[in-house]
Amino acid sequence: MKSAGIIVEYNPFHNGHEFHIQETRRQSQADVLIAVMSGNFLQRGEPALVSKWSRTKMALHAGVDIVIELPYAFAVQKAETFAHGAVFLLNALKCSSICFGSERGELLPFIQTHHFLHQYTEQYNDWINTYMKKGLSYPSALNNAFQKLNPTEDAVDLSKPNNILGFHYLNAANHINKQIKFMTIKRKSADYHDEYFKDSTIASATAIRKSLQQNSSLEAVKSFIPDTTWMELNNYKENFGQFHHWEDYWPYLQFRLLTMESDELHSIYEVEEGLENRLLKAARQANSFLAFMELIKTKRYTWTRLQRICTHILNNCKKVDMKNTRKDPNYIRLLGMNELGRLYLNHVKKELPLPLVSKVSAFPREMLQRDLIASSVYAHGLPEPKKSEFLNLEFKQPPIYFRSNHISNR
């Protein structure tokens, strides 16, 4: 059985993601499609709109055969670490190919850019340092350094988030397994950061989230997401009363900051020298997460990076914790599968280099500690009694199982 991998967040799932799944199947000719998905906190340093369980159902409904979790230690990270964790896990599950979305949908520029930067590593790093010293954020420094090397015209545009991720997937595979075959599909119309709807069926997840935040009704997003996703969002709202937004976690972030001294804050992952006092002062002044972010932002730190720092503070994620867990993922957390996925896992089970975790209680808690904490924190976005219900879910919830293979044919 041949499998293909995709790397996703599904926040929430939309028609563009469905196209990605269909194209991956078509291009890879794989029997089985495996998605590695961020858990309850995402790469951009924010809580997912709905839980990983709900997003797993969306994925299975849309035809993914197996969904595994990208652990917190790799999900809430810059592109390089995120990519490493995701490619590592897909490789562990024996995926022979990985398909990602990009701006132009051509793989060759990625390969050329990869080789090009490999050739000029030293100059590249020098320029990055130069730009960082000038006070630029890391992503801006990367992009500016790249431009300084005078890449050919058909090089990848490394200012686009999807391209940056794709570039790092190739890079990661170069270290992990050079045999992995890459494919890329062109993103359909909507730009990653688009906040408004431009097309009638394709919108960015950002625009969908914005609409869900602004409208109490889910009708406005109906045409941009599969029916099964729409129903899942409705179920979630009915069951838990709300979606998850940073603002719901603000009181806890503020509480945490106001009970820390600066040396403890400095022990939190990614909190660099000099940022502590800025964070502590803003925590006292701000009365919302947005107000807090506005107070702490600078040219040096991207919004995304600051959000990740806030997520680490909220999750009490320390530098020392990350040192211990960061190198490679050491477990595969199964979130969901259909019948085909189950057969595939039975087939490869004996060759898996990592333990496959389907029941949390059967594994030493330390191994999963970061993800368990993330799940507890995530529950705090809900009021009681839903919070309590949610808190126990992580220990009781078996992987979602779809008996049949729902390949969506909308």
Binding-site residue ranges for ATP: 7-20, 101, 162, 187
What are 314's two structure tokens? 């909220």
Please identify, using beta-carbon distances, which residue of 1 and 258 lies nearer to its own copies: 258
CB proximity list for 28: less than 8 A, separation 6 or greater:
2, 4, 96, 97, 99, 181, 183
- The residue within the footprint of its own copies, chosen from 192, 252, 303, 363 (CB under 8 A), is 252
Burial 341-375 (b: 16+ CB within 10 A, else e): bbebbeeeeeeeeeebbbebeeeeeebbebbbbbb
Per the rule left: phi > 0, alpha: psi between -120 and 50, beta: everything else, 400 is beta
Give Cα 154 distance to the centre of its chain.
28
Least Cβ distance, residue 275 to its own copies (angstroms): 18
Per DSSP, helices labelled H in 69-223 are: 72-75, 79-92, 108-119, 121-133, 138-148, 161-176, 205-214
* CB 209, min distance to its own copies, A: 23
CB 248 to its own copies: min, Å: 11
d(CA 58, CA 63): 9
Q: How far is the CB of 365 from its own copies (least distance, A)?
A: 9
Tell me if 241 contacts its own copies by CB under 8 A.
no
Q: Which residue from 149, 176, 348, 373 is in contact with its own copies, where contact means CB under 8 A? A: 373
Residues 380-399 binding its own copies (CB under 8 A) are: 380, 384-385, 387-388, 391-392
Continuous H helices in 149-245: 161-176, 205-214, 227-240
Q: Which residues are documented as binding site?
A: 7-20, 101, 162, 187
Q: Does 40 bind its own copies (CB under 8 A)?
A: no
Report if residue 324 touches its own copies, rule: CB under 8 A.
Answer: no
Q: How far is the CB of 25 from its own copies (least distance, A)?
A: 40
Q: Binding of its own copies at residue 263 (CB under 8 A)?
A: no
CB nearer its own copies, residue 254 or residue 302:
254
d(CA 95, CA 176): 12
Q: Closer to its own copies by CB, 155 or 253: give it.
A: 253
**Would you tell me which residues interact with its own copies (CB under 8 A)?**
251-252, 254-256, 258-261, 264, 284, 287-288, 314-316, 369, 373, 376-377, 380, 384-385, 387-388, 391-392
